[in-house]
Amino acid sequence: MATLLRSVTKGLRSQSALSCLPAAAWQIAQQRFASGHSENTNTFIREALQELEYPDKLQRLLLTPQREVLVELIITKDNGEIETFNAYRVQHDDSRGPYKGGLRYHPQVDLDDVRSLASLMTWKTAVMDIPFGGAKGGIRVDPSLLSERELEKLTRKLVQAIKDVIGPHEDIPAPDMNTDGRVMSWFFDEYSKFEGFSPGVVTGKPVHLHGSHGREAATGRGTVFATRELLKHMGAGSIAQKTYVIQGFGNVGAWAAQLFHEQGGRVIAVSDAFGAISNDKGLDIPSLRKHIAAGGQLHTFTEGTAIPKETILTVPCDVLVPAAIGGVITEENAHQLDCKFVVEAANGPTTPGGDLILRERDITVLPDIYTNGGGVTVSFFEWVQNLQNFRWEEDEVNKRLDRAMTEAFASLWSVHKDKRIPLRTSAFVVALQRVTRAHIHRGFD
């Protein structure tokens, strides 16, 4: 262990300005045909590990999840039939604090997907410097095929199945795709039946039920703060001077669109799972949100032109914001992107092959583990408020979020400048150093 420690410490101190791009590019090229989300995530991590020169045993420790839970959930549907669903909770690393990460309800959820997302959470909480580790959970289900009552039953069954490995000081879930404050309320209620009143077991709850002001908008708001910092540091102007294209118009995409719009940015195209809409003059985002809230479909909004949803990533713009599913920017389509910046509000939207092409094309990518870190940051604020039984004003939450996004950007920008490596690798370097330091200081025995 002494040898391991010595070489790790050496790696931590190593600040040489390595111009590793050719080697890194080669390694990524080697991985081009790697399949699976977790292998994609690990490819990015390995590139940063190469910078840090960590020994193999430590690399394995950092890459491997600490616990993977697979459960089968059985519910009786409204029609009396029984149906089973696979659910997962992967706890990747808790060296810096309790495991933390969202719950996704989606038909494509599988163990490998959740494993990848759990790992991203470890690096995200470290980049944001909040005292949590990383986890993720999900149920393989198309929630649009279930009634509200069935969804509630499914959520309660999930809590019953995983209650022994979660808790306010163990593992704290939160919303992700197709889960929201309503799902978090059921989760909190079911857990409290077993363990007593426990609002801190889950974040992203409604404000009236121990949630935090600002959490619902936090990931989108954080994305806008992140974009502001990127543009400022690149000497590329302000939010107001730019055009935006956003894939995904759910919690994250719609809030990001709203806030870009409020700050004078021109959101010229958006999409969801069913369609896309564009308007070169800029979409009226508040009207679009009203149209959807009233039951309208995104692509039937009359103040824009419906376009094929497959074309959303190639619409010419300054800033492209993927805010939906993972693995959408690939080596097949990265050549066709027509933007200057990709701001990754979604988790894992770019594959290593796609990323390499964007680098070659000089398109700057602001990585997911920083860009969408506003959500978990305000989840941390919610958890703190729950532990203190206290409520902060929204203004205070937003100011603290702004500070967290600004400080996190500064830390990854400084590594980017020192080492002359891409922002994604810089973010992983910052995160790996913080997680490794925690492991070393806690000890391995």
Ligand X SMILES: NC(=O)C1=CN([C@@H]2O[C@H](COP(=O)(O)OP(=O)(O)OC[C@H]3O[C@@H](n4cnc5c(N)ncnc54)[C@H](OP(=O)(O)O)[C@@H]3O)[C@@H](O)[C@H]2O)C=CC1
Q: List the catalytic residue out of 136, 153, 157, 205.
A: 136
Tokens of 188: 């909190």
Residues 380, 374: Cα–Cα separation, whole Å: 10
CB atoms within 10 A of CB 195: 12
Among 94, 152, 176, 190, binds ligand AKG (CB under 6 A): 176
Nearer to ligand X among residue 176 and residue 382 (C-beta): 176
* Distance (Å, whole) CA 275 – CA 163: 38
Residue 396 has, within 13 A of its CA and on its CB side, a CA count of: 8
Query: Is 153 designated active site?
Result: no
Closest CA to 395 of 228, 212, 131: 212
- Selected binder of ligand X within 252, 288, 342, 412 (CB under 6 A): 252
Q: Under rule CB under 6 A, which residues in 198-217 are in contact with ligand AKG?
A: 203-204
Residue with the two structure tokens 């891409």: 422
9 labeled binding residue = no
95 is in an annotated binding site: no
Q: How far is the CB of 240 from ligand AKG (least distance, A)?
A: 27
Residue 417 tokens read as 């400048």
Nearest residue to 223 via CA among 55, 121, 347 = 347
Q: What are phi and psi of 303, to 5 degrees?
A: -90, 30
Q: Least Å distance between CB 142 and ligand X? A: 10
Contacts of ligand X in 58-87 (CB under 6 A)? none
Neighbours of 2 (CB within 10 A): 6
- Rule CB under 6 A: say whether 102 interacts with ligand AKG: yes
**Cβ partners under 8 Å of residue 214, min gap 6:** 221, 378, 381, 394, 397, 398, 401
Q: Does 347 bind ligand X (CB under 6 A)?
A: yes
What would the x/- binding string for ligand AKG be over residues 394 to 433, using CB under 6 A? Answer: ----------------------------------------
Stretch that binds ligand AKG, among 4-12, 16-24, 369-377, 408-416 (CB under 6 A): 369-377
Q: Which one of the spans 80-88, 226-234, 248-256, 300-308 is the region binding ligand X (CB under 6 A)?
A: 248-256
DSSP structure string for 219-264: HHHHHHHHHHHHHHHTT---GGG-EEEEE--SHHHHHHHHHHHHTT
- Shortest Å, Cβ 173 to ligand AKG: 7
Of the candidates 119, 114, 106, the one whose C-alpha atom is nearest the C-alpha of residue 65 is: 119
How many Å apart are CA 407 and CA 418, to the nearest integer? 17
Among 198, 379, 411, 426, indicate the residue that binds ligand AKG (CB under 6 A): 379
203 binds, among ligand X, ligand AKG, none (CB under 5 to 8 A by kind): ligand AKG
Please identify, using beta-carbon distances, which residue of 11 and 101 lies nearer to ligand AKG.
101
Q: How far is the CB of 271 from ligand X (least distance, A)?
A: 5
State the DSSP string of 283-311. Answer: --HHHHHHHHHTT--GGG-TTSEEE-GGG
List the one residue out of 108, 12, 121, 4 whose CA is nearest residue 66. 121
Q: In whole angstroms, how close is the CB of 186 to ligand AKG at the nearest point?
A: 17
211 lines the binding site for ligand X (CB under 6 A)? no
Q: Does 179 bind ligand AKG (CB under 6 A)?
A: no
In DSSP terms, 90 is beta-bridged to 68, 136
Residue 101, sorted as left (phi over 0), alpha (psi -120 to 50) or beta, turns out to be: left
Site for ligand AKG, residues 271 to 330, rule: CB under 6 A = none
Residue nearest to ligand AKG as judged by C-beta position: 102
Report the residue number, 55 or 131, with the smaller CB distance to ligand AKG. 131
> Would the annotation count 379 as a binding residue?
yes
Give the separation between CA 136 and CA 155, rounded to whole angstroms. Answer: 15
251 is in an annotated binding site: yes
DSSP 190: H
Q: Does 174 bind ligand AKG (CB under 6 A)?
A: yes
Instruction: Check residue 177 for interaction with ligand X (CB under 6 A).
Output: yes
HSE-up of residue 376 (Cα within 13 Å, Cβ side): 35
333 among the known binding-site residues? no
Would you give the binding string for ligand X spanning residues 268-307, x where CB under 6 A is met?
---xxxx---------------------------------
The residues carrying an active-site annotation are: 136
Annotation: binding site: 100, 124, 219, 251, 379
Annotation: binding site for NAD(+): 219, 251
Interface ranges with ligand AKG (CB under 6 A): 100-102, 124, 174, 176, 203-204, 347, 372, 375-376, 379
Annotation: binding site for substrate: 100, 124, 379
Interface ranges with ligand X (CB under 6 A): 175-178, 219, 247-253, 271-274, 323-325, 345-347, 372, 375
